[in-house]
Structure 1
Protein backbone atom coordinates (compact mmCIF):
# COMPACT_ATOMS: atom_id res chain seq x y z
CA UNK A 1 0.00 0.00 0.00
CA UNK A 2 1.34 3.42 -0.98
CA UNK A 3 0.33 6.36 1.19
CA UNK A 4 1.02 9.95 0.11
CA UNK A 5 1.59 12.41 2.96
CA UNK A 6 1.88 16.16 2.46
CA UNK A 7 1.71 19.31 4.55
CA UNK A 8 2.05 23.08 4.67
CA UNK A 9 0.60 24.17 1.34
CA UNK A 10 0.18 27.70 2.70
CA UNK A 11 -2.18 28.95 -0.02
CA UNK A 12 0.48 28.43 -2.72
CA UNK A 13 -1.74 27.33 -5.60
CA UNK A 14 1.00 26.96 -8.27
CA UNK A 15 2.87 24.59 -5.95
CA UNK A 16 -0.30 22.71 -5.02
CA UNK A 17 -1.31 22.22 -8.65
CA UNK A 18 2.16 20.91 -9.50
CA UNK A 19 1.96 18.56 -6.52
CA UNK A 20 -1.42 17.21 -7.64
CA UNK A 21 -0.10 16.57 -11.15
CA UNK A 22 2.91 14.71 -9.75
CA UNK A 23 0.68 12.77 -7.35
CA UNK A 24 -1.62 11.60 -10.13
CA UNK A 25 1.36 10.17 -12.01
CA UNK A 26 2.28 8.02 -8.97
CA UNK A 27 -1.23 6.76 -8.15
CA UNK A 28 -1.01 6.26 -4.37
CA UNK A 29 -3.64 4.18 -2.59
CA UNK A 30 -4.37 6.85 0.02
CA UNK A 31 -3.61 10.55 0.52
CA UNK A 32 -3.44 12.53 3.77
CA UNK A 33 -2.73 16.21 4.41
CA UNK A 34 -1.07 17.18 7.69
CA UNK A 35 -2.39 20.73 7.79
CA UNK A 36 -1.64 24.41 7.12
CA UNK A 37 -3.64 24.90 3.94
CA UNK A 38 -3.65 28.67 4.39
CA UNK A 39 -1.37 31.61 5.18
CA UNK A 40 1.51 33.33 3.34
CA UNK A 41 -0.15 33.59 -0.08
CA UNK A 42 -3.35 34.64 -1.86
CA UNK A 43 -5.05 31.38 -2.86
CA UNK A 44 -6.43 29.81 0.35
CA UNK A 45 -9.91 29.26 -1.07
CA UNK A 46 -8.63 27.65 -4.26
CA UNK A 47 -6.46 25.24 -2.27
CA UNK A 48 -9.27 24.36 0.15
CA UNK A 49 -11.65 23.87 -2.79
CA UNK A 50 -9.36 21.24 -4.31
CA UNK A 51 -8.86 19.50 -0.96
CA UNK A 52 -12.61 19.29 -0.39
CA UNK A 53 -13.43 18.33 -3.97
CA UNK A 54 -10.98 15.44 -3.83
CA UNK A 55 -12.05 14.32 -0.36
CA UNK A 56 -8.50 14.40 1.01
CA UNK A 57 -8.42 13.63 4.74
CA UNK A 58 -6.80 16.67 6.36
CA UNK A 59 -5.55 17.70 9.78
CA UNK A 60 -5.78 21.16 11.29
CA UNK A 61 -2.54 23.12 11.15
CA UNK A 62 -1.69 26.06 13.39
CA UNK A 63 -2.26 28.52 10.53
CA UNK A 64 -5.64 26.98 9.75
CA UNK A 65 -6.80 28.26 13.15
CA UNK A 66 -5.74 31.88 12.56
CA UNK A 67 -8.27 34.52 11.52
CA UNK A 68 -6.51 37.90 11.70
CA UNK A 69 -4.31 39.37 8.98
CA UNK A 70 -4.68 39.65 5.21
CA UNK A 71 -3.70 36.04 4.41
CA UNK A 72 -6.33 34.69 6.80
CA UNK A 73 -9.11 37.16 6.09
CA UNK A 74 -9.13 35.95 2.47
CA UNK A 75 -10.68 32.65 3.60
CA UNK A 76 -14.41 32.47 2.86
CA UNK A 77 -16.93 31.86 5.66
CA UNK A 78 -17.77 28.43 4.28
CA UNK A 79 -14.13 27.40 4.07
CA UNK A 80 -13.49 28.80 7.55
CA UNK A 81 -16.25 26.54 8.82
CA UNK A 82 -14.54 23.59 7.13
CA UNK A 83 -11.16 24.44 8.68
CA UNK A 84 -12.74 24.65 12.12
CA UNK A 85 -13.92 21.02 11.87
CA UNK A 86 -10.51 19.50 11.03
CA UNK A 87 -9.10 16.93 13.49
CA UNK A 88 -5.86 17.30 15.45
CA UNK A 89 -4.62 13.77 14.67
CA UNK A 90 -5.28 10.78 12.44
CA UNK A 91 -4.30 7.26 13.47
CA UNK A 92 -3.83 4.40 11.01
CA UNK A 93 -3.70 0.85 12.35
CA UNK A 94 -2.38 -2.02 10.23
CA UNK A 95 -2.74 -5.68 11.21
CA UNK A 96 0.01 -7.49 9.31
CA UNK A 97 0.97 -11.14 9.85
CA UNK A 98 -0.25 -11.06 13.46
CA UNK A 99 1.76 -7.88 14.07
CA UNK A 100 0.21 -4.44 14.53
CA UNK A 101 1.76 -1.34 12.99
CA UNK A 102 0.47 2.01 14.20
CA UNK A 103 0.99 5.22 12.24
CA UNK A 104 0.03 8.53 13.83
CA UNK A 105 -0.31 11.73 11.80
CA UNK A 106 -0.07 15.14 13.47
CA UNK A 107 0.71 18.67 12.35
CA UNK A 108 3.16 19.86 15.00
CA UNK A 109 3.30 16.96 17.44
CA UNK A 110 0.87 14.64 19.20
CA UNK A 111 1.04 16.99 22.18
CA UNK A 112 0.61 20.36 20.53
CA UNK A 113 -0.30 21.76 17.12
CA UNK A 114 2.50 24.33 17.59
CA UNK A 115 5.29 22.01 18.75
CA UNK A 116 8.24 21.36 16.45
CA UNK A 117 9.41 17.74 16.15
CA UNK A 118 12.82 18.50 14.68
CA UNK A 119 15.35 15.93 13.53
CA UNK A 120 17.61 16.52 16.53
CA UNK A 121 14.84 16.40 19.14
CA UNK A 122 15.98 14.66 22.32
CA UNK A 123 15.61 10.89 21.80
CA UNK A 124 14.09 10.19 25.22
CA UNK A 125 11.53 12.96 24.79
CA UNK A 126 10.59 11.72 21.32
CA UNK A 127 10.24 8.10 22.48
CA UNK A 128 8.07 9.19 25.40
CA UNK A 129 5.83 11.14 23.02
CA UNK A 130 5.52 8.24 20.59
CA UNK A 131 4.88 5.69 23.33
CA UNK A 132 2.24 7.97 24.82
CA UNK A 133 0.54 8.16 21.40
CA UNK A 134 1.04 4.42 20.70
CA UNK A 135 2.87 5.37 17.50
CA UNK A 136 5.36 3.10 15.76
CA UNK A 137 5.62 5.73 13.03
CA UNK A 138 4.98 9.41 13.72
CA UNK A 139 4.47 11.67 10.70
CA UNK A 140 4.45 15.45 11.14
CA UNK A 141 4.82 18.72 9.28
CA UNK A 142 5.03 22.27 10.69
CA UNK A 143 8.81 22.82 10.50
CA UNK A 144 8.92 22.54 6.68
CA UNK A 145 12.16 20.56 7.03
CA UNK A 146 11.91 16.94 5.79
CA UNK A 147 13.68 14.03 7.44
CA UNK A 148 13.25 10.38 8.41
CA UNK A 149 14.70 9.32 11.75
CA UNK A 150 14.87 5.80 13.21
CA UNK A 151 15.18 4.97 16.90
CA UNK A 152 15.55 1.38 18.11
CA UNK A 153 14.41 0.67 21.65
CA UNK A 154 13.85 -2.75 23.26
CA UNK A 155 13.89 -4.58 19.91
CA UNK A 156 11.26 -2.26 18.49
CA UNK A 157 11.78 0.20 15.65
CA UNK A 158 10.34 3.70 15.98
CA UNK A 159 10.37 6.11 13.07
CA UNK A 160 9.70 9.85 13.04
CA UNK A 161 9.08 11.49 9.66
CA UNK A 162 8.70 15.12 8.72
CA UNK A 163 7.02 15.24 5.33
CA UNK A 164 8.35 18.68 4.38
CA UNK A 165 6.30 21.42 2.76
CA UNK A 166 4.38 21.66 -0.50
CA UNK A 167 4.21 25.44 -0.68
CA UNK A 168 6.91 26.92 1.56
CA UNK A 169 10.04 24.74 1.96
CA UNK A 170 12.58 25.87 4.55
CA UNK A 171 15.43 23.42 3.93
CA UNK A 172 17.29 25.42 1.29
CA UNK A 173 15.63 23.53 -1.58
CA UNK A 174 12.80 25.58 -3.15
CA UNK A 175 11.19 22.52 -4.77
CA UNK A 176 7.99 21.32 -3.14
CA UNK A 177 8.28 18.20 -1.01
CA UNK A 178 6.03 15.34 0.09
CA UNK A 179 6.38 11.70 1.17
CA UNK A 180 5.36 8.35 -0.25
CA UNK A 181 5.14 5.74 2.49
CA UNK A 182 5.00 2.12 1.30
CA UNK A 183 3.52 -0.54 3.57
CA UNK A 184 3.70 -4.17 2.43
CA UNK A 185 2.69 -7.53 3.86
CA UNK A 186 6.07 -7.92 5.55
CA UNK A 187 6.04 -4.51 7.26
CA UNK A 188 6.34 -4.69 11.04
CA UNK A 189 7.20 -2.55 14.05
CA UNK A 190 10.16 -4.85 14.75
CA UNK A 191 11.77 -4.67 11.29
CA UNK A 192 13.99 -1.68 10.48
CA UNK A 193 13.67 -1.64 6.68
CA UNK A 194 10.17 -3.04 6.23
CA UNK A 195 8.56 0.38 5.67
CA UNK A 196 9.84 2.38 2.71
CA UNK A 197 9.96 6.19 2.94
CA UNK A 198 10.48 8.18 -0.25
CA UNK A 199 10.79 11.97 -0.33
CA UNK A 200 9.44 13.40 -3.58
CA UNK A 201 10.67 16.82 -4.75
CA UNK A 202 8.91 18.58 -7.61
CA UNK A 203 9.31 21.77 -9.62
CA UNK A 204 6.65 24.47 -9.73
CA UNK A 205 6.29 28.05 -10.97
CA UNK A 206 7.97 29.80 -8.04
CA UNK A 207 7.96 33.20 -9.75
CA UNK A 208 4.18 33.10 -10.19
CA UNK A 209 3.80 32.42 -6.48
CA UNK A 210 6.39 35.05 -5.56
CA UNK A 211 4.84 37.78 -7.71
CA UNK A 212 1.41 37.05 -6.23
CA UNK A 213 2.90 37.94 -2.84
CA UNK A 214 4.59 41.08 -4.18
CA UNK A 215 1.32 42.26 -5.76
CA UNK A 216 -0.58 41.75 -2.48
CA UNK A 217 -0.48 43.47 0.94
CA UNK A 218 1.62 40.58 2.27
CA UNK A 219 5.25 41.32 3.29
CA UNK A 220 7.46 41.23 0.19
CA UNK A 221 10.13 39.30 2.07
CA UNK A 222 7.88 36.23 1.84
CA UNK A 223 8.56 36.13 -1.90
CA UNK A 224 12.31 35.95 -1.29
CA UNK A 225 11.76 33.21 1.26
CA UNK A 226 9.99 31.15 -1.39
CA UNK A 227 12.85 31.61 -3.85
CA UNK A 228 15.56 30.73 -1.33
CA UNK A 229 13.58 28.24 0.76
CA UNK A 230 14.31 29.57 4.22
Structure 2
Protein backbone atom coordinates (compact mmCIF):
# COMPACT_ATOMS: atom_id res chain seq x y z
CA UNK A 1 0.00 0.00 0.00
CA UNK A 2 1.23 3.48 -0.87
CA UNK A 3 -0.23 6.30 1.20
CA UNK A 4 0.28 9.97 0.34
CA UNK A 5 0.29 12.27 3.38
CA UNK A 6 0.07 16.01 2.77
CA UNK A 7 -1.15 19.21 4.37
CA UNK A 8 -0.66 22.92 4.97
CA UNK A 9 -2.08 23.79 1.57
CA UNK A 10 -3.19 27.26 2.64
CA UNK A 11 -5.37 28.03 -0.35
CA UNK A 12 -2.66 27.39 -2.95
CA UNK A 13 -4.41 25.56 -5.78
CA UNK A 14 -1.47 25.32 -8.24
CA UNK A 15 0.64 23.71 -5.51
CA UNK A 16 -2.13 21.30 -4.54
CA UNK A 17 -2.71 20.19 -8.12
CA UNK A 18 1.02 19.72 -8.71
CA UNK A 19 1.31 17.62 -5.55
CA UNK A 20 -1.74 15.47 -6.38
CA UNK A 21 -0.49 14.83 -9.92
CA UNK A 22 2.85 13.67 -8.52
CA UNK A 23 1.18 11.49 -5.89
CA UNK A 24 -0.76 9.68 -8.59
CA UNK A 25 2.34 9.36 -10.77
CA UNK A 26 4.13 7.78 -7.78
CA UNK A 27 1.38 5.18 -7.44
CA UNK A 28 -0.39 6.50 -4.33
CA UNK A 29 -3.35 4.25 -3.50
CA UNK A 30 -4.74 6.26 -0.59
CA UNK A 31 -4.48 9.78 0.80
CA UNK A 32 -4.68 11.61 4.11
CA UNK A 33 -4.66 15.39 4.48
CA UNK A 34 -3.17 16.96 7.62
CA UNK A 35 -5.27 20.11 7.41
CA UNK A 36 -4.85 23.88 7.00
CA UNK A 37 -6.54 23.56 3.64
CA UNK A 38 -7.88 27.00 2.72
CA UNK A 39 -6.63 29.96 4.75
CA UNK A 40 -4.20 32.57 3.34
CA UNK A 41 -4.12 31.73 -0.36
CA UNK A 42 -5.95 32.97 -3.45
CA UNK A 43 -8.05 29.80 -3.87
CA UNK A 44 -9.68 28.91 -0.51
CA UNK A 45 -12.90 27.51 -1.98
CA UNK A 46 -11.20 25.59 -4.75
CA UNK A 47 -8.80 23.92 -2.33
CA UNK A 48 -11.64 22.83 -0.04
CA UNK A 49 -13.39 21.27 -3.05
CA UNK A 50 -10.26 19.61 -4.45
CA UNK A 51 -9.44 17.93 -1.14
CA UNK A 52 -13.06 16.92 -0.56
CA UNK A 53 -13.14 15.23 -3.97
CA UNK A 54 -10.45 12.80 -2.79
CA UNK A 55 -12.86 11.34 -0.22
CA UNK A 56 -9.95 10.84 2.18
CA UNK A 57 -9.60 11.59 5.90
CA UNK A 58 -8.83 15.27 6.55
CA UNK A 59 -7.38 16.31 9.89
CA UNK A 60 -8.54 19.66 11.25
CA UNK A 61 -5.67 22.15 11.46
CA UNK A 62 -5.50 25.30 13.53
CA UNK A 63 -6.21 27.46 10.47
CA UNK A 64 -9.27 25.34 9.59
CA UNK A 65 -10.54 25.82 13.12
CA UNK A 66 -9.88 29.56 13.01
CA UNK A 67 -11.87 29.87 9.77
CA UNK A 68 -14.89 28.56 11.66
CA UNK A 69 -14.36 31.05 14.50
CA UNK A 70 -14.70 34.14 12.29
CA UNK A 71 -14.65 37.03 12.80
CA UNK A 72 -11.28 36.70 14.45
CA UNK A 73 -10.09 39.58 16.61
CA UNK A 74 -6.63 41.00 16.01
CA UNK A 75 -4.27 40.24 18.89
CA UNK A 76 -0.75 41.65 18.39
CA UNK A 77 2.01 39.19 19.27
CA UNK A 78 5.03 41.19 18.12
CA UNK A 79 5.62 39.29 14.85
CA UNK A 80 6.48 40.96 11.52
CA UNK A 81 3.53 41.64 9.16
CA UNK A 82 1.01 40.09 11.54
CA UNK A 83 -1.80 42.56 10.76
CA UNK A 84 -1.51 41.85 7.04
CA UNK A 85 -1.58 38.11 7.71
CA UNK A 86 -4.59 38.51 10.01
CA UNK A 87 -6.52 40.51 7.41
CA UNK A 88 -5.76 37.98 4.67
CA UNK A 89 -6.90 35.15 6.96
CA UNK A 90 -10.21 36.90 7.64
CA UNK A 91 -10.65 37.47 3.90
CA UNK A 92 -10.09 33.74 3.33
CA UNK A 93 -12.75 32.81 5.86
CA UNK A 94 -15.24 35.23 4.31
CA UNK A 95 -14.93 33.53 0.92
CA UNK A 96 -16.36 30.20 2.10
CA UNK A 97 -20.02 29.32 1.67
CA UNK A 98 -22.08 27.72 4.44
CA UNK A 99 -21.67 24.39 2.66
CA UNK A 100 -17.90 24.71 2.59
CA UNK A 101 -17.87 25.56 6.28
CA UNK A 102 -19.80 22.34 6.87
CA UNK A 103 -17.04 20.49 5.03
CA UNK A 104 -14.48 22.01 7.42
CA UNK A 105 -16.62 21.00 10.40
CA UNK A 106 -16.30 17.42 9.16
CA UNK A 107 -12.53 17.41 9.51
CA UNK A 108 -11.30 15.10 12.27
CA UNK A 109 -8.85 15.61 15.18
CA UNK A 110 -6.65 12.66 14.12
CA UNK A 111 -6.61 9.93 11.47
CA UNK A 112 -5.36 6.39 12.03
CA UNK A 113 -4.04 3.67 9.77
CA UNK A 114 -2.35 0.39 10.77
CA UNK A 115 0.45 1.35 13.18
CA UNK A 116 0.21 4.99 11.98
CA UNK A 117 -1.25 8.12 13.63
CA UNK A 118 -1.80 11.36 11.70
CA UNK A 119 -2.58 14.79 13.18
CA UNK A 120 -1.92 18.49 12.57
CA UNK A 121 0.13 20.06 15.39
CA UNK A 122 0.06 17.21 17.90
CA UNK A 123 -2.64 14.69 18.90
CA UNK A 124 -3.40 17.00 21.82
CA UNK A 125 -3.34 20.50 20.26
CA UNK A 126 -3.71 21.59 16.66
CA UNK A 127 -1.22 24.45 17.18
CA UNK A 128 1.53 22.56 19.02
CA UNK A 129 4.87 22.41 17.20
CA UNK A 130 6.65 19.05 17.26
CA UNK A 131 10.18 19.57 15.96
CA UNK A 132 13.70 18.20 16.24
CA UNK A 133 14.02 20.28 19.43
CA UNK A 134 10.88 19.02 21.21
CA UNK A 135 12.04 17.38 24.47
CA UNK A 136 11.95 13.59 24.54
CA UNK A 137 9.89 13.79 27.72
CA UNK A 138 7.12 15.70 25.92
CA UNK A 139 7.01 13.16 23.11
CA UNK A 140 6.79 10.30 25.60
CA UNK A 141 3.99 12.12 27.42
CA UNK A 142 2.04 12.43 24.18
CA UNK A 143 2.62 8.80 23.25
CA UNK A 144 1.42 7.60 26.63
CA UNK A 145 -1.77 9.61 26.24
CA UNK A 146 -2.50 9.13 22.54
CA UNK A 147 -1.04 5.85 21.28
CA UNK A 148 2.07 3.80 20.69
CA UNK A 149 1.91 3.54 16.91
CA UNK A 150 5.33 3.05 15.31
CA UNK A 151 4.86 6.06 13.01
CA UNK A 152 3.41 9.47 13.82
CA UNK A 153 2.94 12.10 11.12
CA UNK A 154 2.09 15.73 11.87
CA UNK A 155 2.10 19.05 10.04
CA UNK A 156 1.79 22.68 11.19
CA UNK A 157 5.49 23.65 11.17
CA UNK A 158 5.76 23.65 7.34
CA UNK A 159 9.15 21.93 7.73
CA UNK A 160 9.96 18.34 6.70
CA UNK A 161 11.07 16.22 9.64
CA UNK A 162 12.27 12.68 10.31
CA UNK A 163 13.00 12.03 13.98
CA UNK A 164 13.47 8.64 15.62
CA UNK A 165 13.27 7.76 19.30
CA UNK A 166 13.57 4.23 20.73
CA UNK A 167 12.26 2.54 17.60
CA UNK A 168 9.50 5.12 17.06
CA UNK A 169 9.46 7.62 14.20
CA UNK A 170 8.01 11.14 14.02
CA UNK A 171 7.54 12.57 10.52
CA UNK A 172 6.42 15.86 9.01
CA UNK A 173 5.84 16.09 5.24
CA UNK A 174 6.46 19.84 5.07
CA UNK A 175 3.93 22.09 3.35
CA UNK A 176 2.15 21.71 0.04
CA UNK A 177 1.25 25.35 -0.36
CA UNK A 178 3.45 27.50 1.91
CA UNK A 179 6.95 26.05 2.48
CA UNK A 180 8.56 29.26 3.68
CA UNK A 181 12.31 29.54 4.19
CA UNK A 182 14.88 32.20 4.98
CA UNK A 183 16.98 33.46 2.07
CA UNK A 184 19.42 36.18 3.04
CA UNK A 185 17.65 38.79 5.15
CA UNK A 186 14.07 37.80 4.32
CA UNK A 187 11.64 34.92 4.37
CA UNK A 188 10.27 33.72 1.03
CA UNK A 189 7.78 31.13 -0.19
CA UNK A 190 9.37 28.78 -2.76
CA UNK A 191 7.04 27.32 -5.40
CA UNK A 192 7.69 23.78 -4.18
CA UNK A 193 4.87 21.45 -3.09
CA UNK A 194 6.07 19.13 -0.32
CA UNK A 195 4.45 15.89 0.75
CA UNK A 196 5.27 12.43 2.11
CA UNK A 197 4.81 9.05 0.45
CA UNK A 198 4.55 6.12 2.87
CA UNK A 199 4.82 2.57 1.55
CA UNK A 200 3.58 -0.29 3.71
CA UNK A 201 6.06 -3.18 3.65
CA UNK A 202 6.71 -6.20 5.82
CA UNK A 203 8.98 -4.13 8.05
CA UNK A 204 6.49 -1.29 8.46
CA UNK A 205 5.98 2.06 6.76
CA UNK A 206 8.86 3.30 4.59
CA UNK A 207 8.90 7.11 4.05
CA UNK A 208 9.88 9.04 0.95
CA UNK A 209 9.88 12.85 1.02
CA UNK A 210 8.74 14.53 -2.20
CA UNK A 211 9.10 18.16 -3.34
CA UNK A 212 7.36 19.09 -6.59
CA UNK A 213 8.14 22.36 -8.42
CA UNK A 214 5.38 24.33 -10.14
CA UNK A 215 4.89 27.69 -11.88
CA UNK A 216 5.51 30.55 -9.42
CA UNK A 217 3.95 33.03 -11.87
CA UNK A 218 0.62 31.21 -11.66
CA UNK A 219 0.59 31.81 -7.90
CA UNK A 220 1.52 35.47 -8.28
CA UNK A 221 -1.16 36.05 -10.92
CA UNK A 222 -3.76 34.31 -8.78
CA UNK A 223 -2.96 36.41 -5.74
CA UNK A 224 -3.07 39.67 -7.69
CA UNK A 225 -6.41 38.77 -9.28
CA UNK A 226 -8.03 37.40 -6.12
CA UNK A 227 -9.26 40.62 -4.52
CA UNK A 228 -7.61 39.73 -1.21
CA UNK A 229 -6.15 42.55 0.89
CA UNK A 230 -2.38 43.08 0.59
CA UNK A 231 -2.25 40.93 -2.55
CA UNK A 232 0.82 42.68 -4.00
CA UNK A 233 2.65 42.28 -0.69
CA UNK A 234 1.77 38.55 -0.60
CA UNK A 235 2.75 38.00 -4.24
CA UNK A 236 6.15 39.59 -3.62
CA UNK A 237 7.11 36.82 -1.20
CA UNK A 238 6.89 34.07 -3.84
CA UNK A 239 10.02 32.78 -5.59
CA UNK A 240 10.84 29.85 -7.87
CA UNK A 241 11.22 26.60 -5.99
Specify whether residues 85 and 137 from structure 1 end up closer, same or farther in structure 2 by C-alpha distance, changes over 3 A only.
same
Separation in structure 2 between the aligned mates of residue 118 and residue 223 of structure 1, nearest angstrom = 28
Matched, 1:217 2:228: yes
Separation in structure 1 between the aligned mates of residue 23 and residue 199 of structure 2, nearest angstrom = 14
1:226 counterpart residue number: 238
Separation in structure 2 between the aligned mates of residue 60 and residue 5 of structure 1, nearest angstrom = 14
Q: Spell out structure 1 runs of 4+ moving beyond 4 A.
A: none
Separation in structure 2 between the aligned mates of residue 139 and residue 200 of structure 1, nearest angstrom = 15
Residues 57 and 108 of structure 2 are in contact (CA less than 8 Å); yes or no, is this contact kept in structure 1?
no
1:39 counterpart residue number: 39
Q: CA deviation at 1:181?
A: 1.0
Q: CA deviation at 1:145?
A: 0.5
Structure 1 unaligned blocks of 5 or more? 94-101, 188-194
Matched, 1:161 2:157: no
Please give the TM-score of this superposition, normalised by the length of structure 1.
Answer: 0.85
Matched, 1:5 2:5: yes
Structure 1 residue matching 2:221: 3-state secondary structure: helix
Separation in structure 1 between the aligned mates of residue 132 and residue 201 of structure 2, nearest angstrom = 26
Alignment partner for residue 197 of structure 2, among 163, 166, 180?
Answer: 180
1:114 counterpart residue number: 127
Q: CA deviation at 1:75?
A: 1.2
Q: CA deviation at 1:228?
A: 7.7
What count of residue pairs does the alignment treat as equivalent? 210
Structure 1 residue matching 2:53: 3-state secondary structure: helix
Structure 2 residue matching 1:165: 3-state secondary structure: coil
Please give the TM-score of this superposition, normalised by the length of structure 2.
Answer: 0.81
For residues 123-160 of structure 1, what are the alpha-carbon distances to aligned partners after superposition, in whole Å with 9 as ceiling and x for unaligned? Answer: 121122123211321100111001111111xxxx1111
For residues 81-130 of structure 1, what are the alpha-carbon distances to aligned partners after superposition, in whole Å with 9 as ceiling and x for unaligned? Answer: 1101211101222xxxxxxxx21110110110111112221112112212
2:86 counterpart residue number: none
Structure 2 unaligned blocks of 5 or more? 72-89, 183-188
CA RMSD of superposed structures (Å): 1.8
1:97 counterpart residue number: none
2:142 counterpart residue number: 129
Separation in structure 1 between the aligned mates of residue 160 and residue 233 of structure 2, nearest angstrom = 23
